[in-house]
Amino acid sequence: MSTDNALITMRDIKKVFFTDEVETHALAKVHLDILRGEYVAISGPSGCGKSTLLSILGLLDSPTDGSYLLNGTQVESLNASDRARIRNREIGFIFQAFNLIGDLNVFENVELPLTYRDGIGKAERKERTMEALERVGMAHRIKHYPSQLSGGQQQRVAVARALVGRPSILLADEPTGNLDSKNGEAVMSLLDELHKAGSTICMVTHDPRYAEFAQRKIFMFDGRVVDEETLNRLRHEEDARLSRRNAA
């Protein structure tokens, strides 16, 4: 049973990709709870299923099997349009590559998620868009296009776009992966501020320094969630296996 405070309850989540007669078991029996107001960091080696898990958490993809309760709604087997509607309300996604739309300016990029919602008029859209841009310190650049901004600025705009719908959770997949360390740190302090102001955040990062910002660290290995000790043991075994293979 989940606690009342759980925003996310995943049980036995599996994901299998079928491509060219190859089956990839990207997630095997993942259990995960995220509480309201928590800041969780997920790390683990490349290919272990972090992005797959985040895509399922963010309703960009559905699991092959298992149950996923998001903010009181069972979401594992919704059709695409219901998924899109719930995603728009509940989820703010931040990607490694920013994913801003090149021919929309900063204001239009941030406003965009609100234009897909019923019942939000133009004046309210403007107010909320400006509020989100102020929170990330980009309100002075509303007429700029993404190509006219630095990577760090683009990611701050992407954070504003993720915030504007007042989602119940922010999901960030390697949000600092395309940034130098100065801009990376600025984005991390921004997420830290948002968390302190009450946002629930789940971030994937391969950088242990950045995982330290989170309240709770989760580790993945080969499609499973493991504790840190298990991760280190499995890594060690894998390294030993690789060096035996290289020696042979």
Ligand X SMILES: Nc1ncnc2c1ncn2[C@@H]1O[C@H](COP(=O)(O)OP(=O)(O)O)[C@@H](O)[C@H]1O
Q: Rounded CA gap, 8 and 105, in Å?
A: 34
Going by C-alpha positions, the residue among 94, 31, 102 that lies closest to residue 63 is 31
Cβ closest to ligand X, residue 26 vs residue 106: 26
Structure tokens at 190: 């921004």
Fill in the per-residue mask, 51 to 90: x = in contact with ligand X (CB under 6 A), - = not in contact.
Answer: xx--------------------------------------
CA 171 – CA 218 distance, rounded (Å): 14
State which residue, 62 or 129, has the beta carbon closest to Mg ion. Answer: 62
CB of 73 to ligand X, least distance (A): 24
Does 51 engage in binding with Mg ion (CB under 5 A)? yes
Enter the tokens of residue 239: 């390294």
Beta bridge pairs of residue 126:
none
Instruction: Give the whole-angstrom CA distance, residue 118 versus residue 104.
Output: 21
Task: Please choose, out of 47-55, 134-142, 158-166, 210-218, the segment that lies near ligand X by the rule CB under 6 A.
Answer: 47-55
Applying CB under 6 A, which of residues 13, 26, 159, 162 lies at the interface with ligand X? 26
Amino acid at 152: G
Residue 49 interacts with ligand X (CB under 6 A): yes or no: yes
9 is a contact residue toward Mg ion (CB under 5 A): no
Which residues are near Mg ion by CB under 5 A?
50-51
